[in-house]
Amino acid sequence: MKFVFDLDGTICFKGKPLSPNMVACLDRLVKEGHELIFASARPIRDLLPILPEHLRCHSLVGGNGGFVQHGGRLLSVSYLDNSLANQILQLLHSYNATYLIDSDWDYCYTGAIDHPIRQNLDPEGAAQNLSLDELSKWVKIVILQSSNFEQLYMELADLPVALYLHGNENIIDISPQGIDKWTGLQQLGVQAHAFIAFGNDANDVPMFKQANYSVCVGNHADLLAVSTDKTSSDEEAVISKIEEIAANLPLHLLDIPLLG
């Protein structure tokens, strides 16, 4: 069975790499013949440092579907249209927004040095923080702060983009329209209702809707509405839930009603 895992807040916490206990749990899944896929809002650059070296060969969906990688090879990158990027940039300037914009590998960061996003940004120093003039082709934008966050979100919602508001962190994720974790999984050949998904936030909703069985980590209302199971936002609880599902896998191949 394919197990698809979001990272931050699902199987790793506080921006730290996977713990030894979580790695051991995932290694047991592989040993039992299951396939691992990691699907994160992080670009591949920032996703890789979370994983130990031996897990980096697994399929990766980064940037909420903007990046798709398999076997260490980048399969696809989805970019924002240039004219649309210019519209977004005008809004960012109008609302004095600070942001992180990711390209293929390098990025442009204008936020505070002590912002939590900055703490998890390019931890291995593998990329460059470029000016917007130097940064070609945008894949994903994260808005960190602005003079009027709610109004900025409303105006962005009128544009043809994929938009996610992360309430706990008070940030906005922007990706190209039609790009999400499920579209990324499809590029890896994943079929609907043929995988088990774990996640914790709104950007996991598209893949949860297509999963055979899904586990919401924590209490995100939108995600709970499309989940078949839930567990607390605690590493031991998540590991226990993974092992429970793996041990009783035939039960999870049946049609089970959603929690909502």
Close Cβ partners of 161 (under 8 Å, ≥ 6 residues apart): 80, 84, 88, 174, 175, 176, 177
Domain closes at, from 155, 176, 197: 176
Give the pTM.
0.93
pLDDT above 90 as % of the chain:
90
CA distances, 6 to each of 13, 100, 119, 149, 201 (Å)? 11, 20, 19, 26, 9
Domain final position from 129, 160, 176: 176
- Residue 154 neighbours by CB distance under 10 Å: 10
Does 198 share its domain with 143?
no
Percent of the chain with pLDDT over 70: 95
Q: Is the pLDDT of residue 250 over 90?
A: no
For residue 168, is pLDDT > 90? no
User: For the domain that residue 171 is a member of, what is the CATH number?
Assistant: 3.30.1240.10
Kindly tell me if the per-residue pLDDT of 260 is higher than 90: no
- For CA atoms 31, 34, 35, 40, give the dihedral sign: negative
139 and 213 share one domain:
no
| 60 and 185 part of one domain | yes
Average pLDDT over residues 22-48: 97
List alpha helices for 44-193, DSSP H: 44-47, 82-94, 116-119, 149-157, 181-187
Tell whether 248 and 198 lie within a shared domain: yes
| Number of domains within the chain | 2
Q: Are both 63 and 123 inside the same structural domain?
A: no
**Domain end: 176, 194, 229, which one?**
176
Same domain membership, residue 134 and residue 91 = yes
Q: How far apart are CA 16 and CA 256, in angstroms?
A: 33
Tell me the mean pLDDT in the region 96-108: 97
Q: For 49-88, write each residue's pLDDT tens digit.
A: 999 999 999 999 999 999 999 999 999 999 999 999 999 9
**Beta-sheet pairing, 171-176 with 213-217:** unpaired
Is 62 within 8 Å of 179 (Cβ atoms)?
Answer: no
CATH number of the domain at 228, please.
Answer: 3.40.50.1000
pLDDT of residue 170: 82
Q: Is residue 260 part of a domain?
A: no
If phi > 0 it is left, if psi is from -120 to 50 it is alpha, else beta; for residue 72 that is left
Are 63 and 185 found together in one domain?
A: yes
Q: Are residues 27 and 86 in the same domain?
A: no
By residue range, what is the domain housing residue 21?
2-77+180-253
For residues 98 and 29, state if they share a domain.
no
pLDDT tens-digit readout, 187-228? 999 999 999 999 999 999 999 999 999 999 999 999 999 999
Answer yes or no: do 184 and 68 share one domain. Answer: yes
166: confidence class by pLDDT, cuts 50, 70, 90:
confident
How confident is the model over 112-117, as a mean pLDDT? 92
